[in-house]
Amino acid sequence: MRDFRGDFSTLGRVLVPSSGGQRQIPVSELATIKEVSGPAMIRDEDGLLTGYVYLDIADRDPQS
């Protein structure tokens, strides 16, 4: 995953396992990736650095 942090455009090539685990799907097929400005945030939970991903899903069941 560290290889993708230096170049934002490569993030879409990260592979995510399908629900059955038999296939791997690129993130670019699952989501639109865009860079937006927002507050910088570094958090930790129980002493471990934690990253958060926020999704904006309109008119869609998040479980599907």
pLDDT of 29 over the 70 cut: yes
Structure tokens at 53: 């991903």
Q: What angle do CA 10, 51, 1 make, to 5 degrees?
A: 35
Alpha helix segments (H runs only) across 1-64: none
Average of per-residue pLDDT values in the chain: 77
Is the pTM here over 0.85, yes or no? no
Listed by start position, the domains of the chain span 2-50
pLDDT of 1 over the 90 cut: no
* pLDDT attached to residue 4: 63
* Measured CA distances, 63 to 31, 32, 51, 56 (Å): 14, 18, 21, 14
Mean pLDDT computed over 25-41 = 81
Q: What angle do CA 18, 23, 25 make, to 5 degrees?
A: 65
Mean pLDDT computed over 20-43 = 82
